Amino acid sequence: MSAEAADREAATSSRPCTPPQTSWFEFLLEEALLEQHLQKPSPDPPPVQLIVQFLEQASKPSVNEQNQVQPPPDNKRNRILKLLALKVAAHLKWDLDVLEKSLSVPVLNMLLNELLCISKVPPGTKHVDVDLSSLPPTTAMAILLYNRWAIRTIVQSSFPVKQVKPGPPQLNVMSQVQQEKELTDNILKVLKEQAADSILVLEGALKLNKDLYVHTIRTLDLLAMEPGMVNGETESSTAGLKISAEEIQCQVCYDLGAIYFQQGSTNAAVHENAKEKFFKTKELIAKNGSSSLHFTIDEERLAGYCQACGVLTSSSDDASQQATPYSQIHSCMKSGNYQDLVKIFLEDNLTLSLPVQFRQSVLRELFQKAQQGNDALDEVCFKVCVCNTVCDVLQGRTIDIQFCQLFLKPSKEKIDFLLEVCSRSINLENASEALKRKMAAFLKNLCLGLEDLQLVFMISSHELFIKLLKDDERKLLVDQMRKRSPRINLCTKPVTSFYDIPASASVNIGQLEHQLILSVDPWRIRQILIELHGMTSERQFWTISNKWEVPNVYGNVILGIKDNLTRDLVYILMAKGLHCCAIKDFVHAKQLFAACLELVTEFSPKLRQVMLNEMLLLDIYTHEAGAGVSGERPPSDLISRVRGYLEMRVPDIPLRQVIAEECVAFLLNWRENEYLTMQVPLPLVQTNPYVKEDIVNDIAAEHISIWPSSIPNLQSVDFEAVAVTVKELVSYALTINANNHFWLIIQADIYFATNQYSAALHYYLQAGAVCSDFFNKMVPPDVYTDQVIKRMIKCCSLLNCHTQVAILCQFLREVDYKTAFKALQEQNSHDAMDSYYEYIWDVTILEYLTYLHHKRGETDKRQIAIKAIGQTELNASNPEEVLQLAAQRRKKKFLQAMAKLYF
């Protein structure tokens, strides 16, 4: 044997072997094997799996000689298998919590019926007609177990269950699943019909004042040896596991309370019965201790039930219940005392006793009442939403989109209330630094989201804001304010009207200076400066912010202007324009430069040429960040202007080196090599650091430069640690600024990558909502890229929302008909299906729908599709702008509908 072979054999022989799983039929062959198996620390197969296997084999139908299916035969083999299943359940001490968790309704129904049978309860006997006190203890206990399970199953079936995404369709598997579902539905139907009888049986059990016994493996063996024993009695009436009368009462009270509480949704008076049973359970646990209970009770759930019953019942004798916030809120909602309701929410922002789910449910109920026509509730909805939002902020949760919706039209009154809630929700003397940072970040982001500078000033001058933010933080906020996207296209205003704007009424100088720092509107800047110069002629207002910087080559020329107002205006317009250009806010930069150009053209040819040069650089940046990214060549007039700049030989014009460098880089990137060879000095080309190697491979992304361009040793990277770090980082970032659509997209991508598709859709939709005023405006194409839309499509597909898939296929630059048609062919769709047809604007998809419904014989749905096609605004002969408007309107409504579904 070779050395390698010897090593392999040694390794194999030293490797521990996994023992083979014991097969069900082995327990038939060896009587003592079952108990030995169950005593193992981790038996394989586990006990509950054995129950399934035994009963499955015992219930298999037989086939006679005529090939006809017959019921399972009542032979020795099947009787032993059923007895083995009962023994396993006895080993588990008939714990319904364990059995219900692991066994399906049909299997557990079969198991408990076998228990009734072996306990000598005649089949078909109505349990309500049986006197439990006259029965042997084990027989009475079997009846109790069955009826407890019956009402527990009814209660459990009323809870919503999250559907599991099925795997690839397999005919046999699907058939078995369908059969089990039908069998479960049939059993539930019978249990619900007998629910009243089961309740009476359990109520009768509460009157029993004696201990009962439950079957053990030993008593089941005795029964098997003495099949003729009357009523299932064995040689000893105490041979089973003893269950005390107090334990029985405790568990039965709890189960009755649960069924009464569930019935209370249709009969409010039953809540009193539930309350009585739950409080009795609580009393019995306090008296006997939960550790002595053979049957476990979820004490947290019991406490929740007690609290809910205290709120839902109108009893006034329980002072402690009436004192809870839950009961107070319920009372306010019932009586319409919304002023006190808001007060409770505001006070709870400090104590944080109300769970976030409860807060959200109250807000949802208020929204529903408001939508039903109660306009007076709009203000209440806003106030409760503000309380919830501030609570979310302080606890590090993402701000809900409802707050953004209600804050679309801010007012002085809304800001006043918001600041009051913020002030009353944090005790600055005792608050931690982390809590203060969260509140400060919220107020800063609020300022960044406001367009009205008067409202911004209300927040920034508030006492809480001043205490939370230091001077340098407030200055940083000013810089961030400059990055805001414009809501109004100022290019639509004629430039010639620049000098025609009248000054408004005077306000104090400090407030005007504050507005001057924040504004990027050239018309507003001029208006403010006129007012300031009307108040005082001693100030040089271009100096009020140390962030306003212009290159030294320009500064000397600008500061030489004699008129103070003109000097301030030119300096500030240029400084703000250069800053906007640096942060890639090219729209505002162009507006500011255009206004400055118009101003200086009247009196300074030198400054006019300076502005033309800066506008050329701005146009280069704009193209490189826009159409140039996709490889589109720049317009010929831009190339001509760049060449003109490089050929310019005008004396005494201040020039910036960066403009020449960018012009050379621009021409190199667009392969103007021949021109450069003839016109531009070679050293300037060779040493230029801005030249890209290939425009197609140029990647534009936030902070991309700090990421490594390559990883030399992939094996050394802990990808799981990186994933966790990124996830935590994004979650933390969203607590700082919940309206950053880039971060929201990243959060959505994380959920997408981890197969959490509903959560991914939530964040994809939230990203679109925050940058479009809740879809009232078009979502920017750099937010809803084709990649994002395709991921949204996949999420909807994996959630079985196939109509949503078809609609989203229209959002792509090129409509994906193949995916849309395939989605519409699916008949097992979990969305609103034909209710979504009004959001489809692509006539080809609508025509396919009419064909599909006609083929299936679905007349009503076909008519809905035909009605959608027949809308005049979708007529192909309409002008392009009409068709675009129709598409945008449907996009807006669909995205808003999706947001309501997933938020």
Determine how many CB atoms are found less than 10 A away from the CB of residue 581: 21
Q: Within a 10 A sphere around the Cβ of 352, how many other Cβ atoms?
A: 12
pLDDT, position 724 = 72
| pLDDT score at 692 | 38
**Phi then psi dihedrals of residue 124, to 5 deg:** 85, -5
Full-prediction pTM beyond 0.75?
no
pLDDT tens across 668-685, in order?
Answer: 777 776 665 555 444 444
Question: Could you give the 3-state DSSP secondary structure of residue 528?
Answer: helix
Rounded to 10°, the helix 859-869/843-856 angle is 160
Three-class secondary structure assignment of 417-430:
HHHHHHHHCCCCCC
Question: Do 834 and 861 form a contact (C-beta atoms < 8 A)?
Answer: yes
Helix and strand counts by DSSP (H, E) for the chain: 44, 4
The whole-number pLDDT of residue 710 equals 61
SS3 62: strand
Unique residue bearing structure tokens 């020795």 = 76
Q: How many residues does the chain have?
A: 903
903's tokens: 């938020």
Give the model's pLDDT for residue 506: 37
Give the Cα separation of 117 and 206 in Å (integer): 24
- pLDDT 10s digits, 126-139: 888 888 888 888 88
Q: How far apart are the first and last CA of the chain?
A: 69
Taking the C-alpha atoms of residue 778 and residue 891, their distance in angstroms, rounded to an integer, is 9
Dihedral pair phi/psi, residue 70, rounded to 5°: -115, 155
Nearest to 213 by CA among 254, 245, 170, 181: 245
Cβ neighbors of 332 (< 8 A, separation 6 or more) are 338, 340, 341, 344
Q: Which residues contact 441 (CB under 8 A, 6 or more apart)?
A: 735, 736, 737
| Integer Cα distance of 65 and 67 in angstroms | 5
Residue 51 CB partners (closer than 8 Å, separation 6+): 85, 88, 89, 103, 107, 111
Cα–Cα dist 460/518, whole Å: 12
Bond from prior residue into 45 cis (ω within 30 degrees of 0): yes
Backbone torsions φ then ψ of 122, nearest 5 degrees: -60, 135
pLDDT for the residue 592: 93
Buried b (16+ CB within 10 A) or exposed e, 582-603: eeebbbbbbbbbbbbbbbbeee
List the beta bridge partners of residue 69: 63
The phi and psi torsions of 165 (rounded to 5 degrees) equal -65, 120
Low-confidence ranges of the chain (pLDDT < 70): 1-21, 24, 29, 63-64, 67, 160-176, 225-238, 265-266, 268, 289-295, 310-323, 475, 478-508, 537-538, 649, 673-721, 832
Q: How many Cα neighbours within 13 Å face the side chain of 271?
A: 17
